[in-house]
Chain A
Amino acid sequence: MLEFPTWKKVMLWGIAILGVLAALPSIASLTNNDWPEQLPNPTVNLGLDLAGGSHILLEAERAQVASKRLEDMEEGVRNAMRRAEPRIRIGDVSSENGELSFLLDDAGDIDRARAAIEDLMAGTGPVREWDLQVVDGQRFVLTQTEAGLSNAVDAAMEGALRTIGIRVDELGTREPTILRQGDTRIVVQVPGLQDPEQLKELLGKTAQLEFKLVEREATAEEVSRGFVPGGEVLPYADREVYQGTGVVVQRLGGIDGETLTGAIQTFDQQTNEPVVSITFNPEGGRRFATLTTQYTGRQFAIILDGEVISAPRMLEPIQNGQSQISGSFTTESANELAIQLRSGALPVDLAVVEERTVGPDLGADSIKQGLLAMGIGTLLVMALMIVTYGRFGIYATVALVINVLMLLGIMAALGSTLTLPGIAGFVLTIGAAVDANVLINERIREERKRGRRVMAAVENGYIEASRAIYDANVTNFIAGVLLFQFGSGPIKGFAVVLVVGLFTSVFTAVPLTRMWVAGWLRKTRPTDLNI
């Protein structure tokens, strides 16, 4: 018990000192002091509830990916059939209930049709993405496989992640976190954001831009029904001006926003209204030129996420691949749209399913109040320990201080996040960390009462108490890990503090105090203990 080889002492002191040093940069930053730049500075991250900021959870619908995929397939099939030599005529095309079906006009085309769509059906990976059935010799039915859909969802989410990354970057905020969560969710965390509304606006919009040929104005009744035979009815985005009316557009054969290379907010030269200027890539520019040449004088609907922003008449063909979008914008909303168009459309609609925002003032107040409460609590615990256990209490309180610092230091080194519940975790750890010393010291008291000599009593105290300390910490560890598994952000922060705190508190309360006690016993060889 009294024998502590030098290497062991060096190791114990080394770990303790390293842990404490690692905490210093965090303390400097929490108390708003400067930390010399040339020194390493692992700092504990502050959670959004302390630093202020927004946490937004976005979710996509699998069903929407499925229906979009089906729609793309329909367009692909139509093109493939048209391009076949000679053209394969099909009819009665429907994409409903997750399946695409069409009828060959001539049953003799069956092998050619099969060959024509073979490429479309082949996925990128080894899995089969579509099932093809031929009914009655000339009806083709294409259904998506689960695996194919999962691939598509995955690809859509990866695309969405990139798009969101670009949009958040455009806001110029520091250190945003953008992560996929599960199959269909994305978490966006932006610390210190002043205007969460703007962020939500930016993220929530799919920004699917389309240009489609207008057939005619739609009546309010058609708009509420949503479709007319052979065409698509779209409402105007600005309901106040257009009173719920809309236009009928040609369903296929338009241009979509994927062919854009640039979008920027400018002002219309004549009216001085805010507009968004867009630039097509060469292919998009060519298609735009062809369409506007073919349909000069007709109206084109500029459609954003299924709503018509405006439907200007093309007075002349547009050959230079540039155009502008106008339609009752403010400067901000035009700028927002420009960012969204630049970043590309989200491959799938995302809805905000959870949002948590904390203002920066509240966060700063919370830190102050939390640290104050923690300080008072620590002092009270220290006082109680010292009046109860005397010298052994002093060892315990020194261990407690090292414990708190090491806990902070390790969290900083691990790059963990300190949250508001995490501060409560610190306080709880302070209360609980002394438990090990209480157990040991009470045991030493008992052993002395039973008449053991000083050395034996201390030794037995440490040995006998260790069993319960070990078991108790393992169960706490189990609870802590489950808490971590369960929790969302702030709660995870609580769990991290509790779990890391278990390790630091056992380290400081058992081997460290034992070393000090041993050193003292060896030096003074007391015959009685005041405990």
Chain B
Amino acid sequence: MKLLKLVPDDTNIKFLKWRVPFFVVSILLIAASWALVMTKGLNYGVDFAGGLEVRATFTERTDAPVAQLREDIENLGYGSPVVQRFGEDNQVSIRVRLPDEVSADNEAAQEAANTVVEELQGNYPDFRLDGNDNVSGKVSGEFREDAVWALMAAMLAVALYIWIRFEWQFGVGGLFALFHDVSLTLGMFALFQIEFSLQIIAAILAIIGYSLNDTIVIYDRIRENLKKYRKMPLPELLDLSVNETLARTVMTSLTLLIALVPLLLFGPASLFGLTAGITLGIFVGTYSSVYMAGPLLVWMGVNSDSFIPQETVADKQEKKLRGEV
């Protein structure tokens, strides 16, 4: 049987030749992402913004009365809701961000949640409540804080690990690649205004793990080649390492994608954000391993000495005594 080869043997793509333009583009993309996050903002779900979210199915109709629902809830006086199709055409998610004075008062917030559900149950006999989330302002604030800590801690912890296992330059390179991935993912969520919830933080943490997977595989090969080809110029060596691992990079990214796409297409609607986040992360993560993690090593001056046992202070003194220096 002739086996499939996604990547031909002995590729020799000069990835690093275009490192400066690509790096500039990456930096611009990171900047643009943060600009988007700052200006357009993330579309916080109830987890992070507080308020209430109601998911419901209209069992007797094929289309949910979205516009009518919006009006109904607006009339309750808690501000204008976000009403979206959620899953099937007759399913909706209704998000109401309560006014600050209501959300600060736990009892009033509960009252609001009950009012919304009762109003809808009263207006639509075929209203089936599939679920609701009510999150108080205090709890959502804690979630925001925890999320930032979790992301920063994860990035630093894995960078530290790479530093210990490789060299400091690799740690910095990996950290920067992760920063790139997290930034671009946030940027996409700001751009497309996909609901940003706790699940997305989970997605980003998963991306941190898997993007690093790629980075480590390439780094591992760089380390190996640094020991093997002592005289090779670094850009060339990086290209060689990326090319040697290219088949694996493509294959793994592809398997991840084909596992995730069915979930995106047929999976439950409430998993869409999580899956979309991870799918997106696979692209940026693979890219960053090649174009962020690699070139940074060149600029930080990694060389084969990094992995040869260094002379210790004691060695040097000994040499001095022997008059060798």
Contact = CB atoms under 8 A, between A and B. Distances in A.
B154 A354 contact: no
A435 B106 CA distance: 48
B157 A390 contact: no
Interface in A473-531: 474-476, 478-480, 482-483, 485-488, 490-491, 494-495, 498, 530-531
A490 B143 CA distance: 14
Contact of A354 (B57, B134, B266): B134
B202 A438 contact: no
A15 interface: no
B213 interface: yes
Interface stretch (A3-11, A271-279, A355-363): A355-363
Contacts of B254: 384
A369 B132 contact: no
A421 B199 contact: yes
Contacts of A471: 161-162, 165, 216, 220
A379 B247 CA distance: 21
A115 interface: no
Contacts of A479: 154, 157-158, 205-206, 208-209, 212
B307 interface: no
Given A431-B256, A478-B157, A530-B1, A420 B270 contact: yes
A420 B255 CA distance: 21
A420 B150 contact: no
A117 interface: no
Given A388-B3, A421-B271, A427-B263, A478 B154 contact: yes
The interface residues of chain B, by DSSP majority, are classed as helix
B113 interface: yes
Nearest to B258: A380
Contact of B198 (A430, A442, A487): A487
Contacts of B5: 388
Contact of A427 (B4, B150, B245, B259): B259
B158 A388 contact: no
A287 interface: no
Given A356-B133, A427-B260, A482-B154, A370 B252 contact: no
A482 B131 contact: no
Contacts of B138: 59, 353
Given A471-B220, A491-B202, A357 B266 contact: no
B262 A373 contact: yes
Nearest to B110: A352
A473 B217 CA distance: 11
B211 to A, nearest CB: 10
9 contacts: A59-B106, A352-B136, A356-B133, A357-B133, A384-B255, A421-B202, A421-B274, A486-B149, A491-B201
Interface of B: 1, 3-6, 9-10, 55, 57, 106-107, 110, 113-114, 128-136, 138-139, 143, 146-147, 149-150, 153-154, 157-158, 161-162, 165, 198-199, 201-202, 205-206, 208-210, 212-213, 216-217, 220-221, 224, 244-245, 247-248, 251-252, 254-263, 265-268, 270-271, 274-275, 278
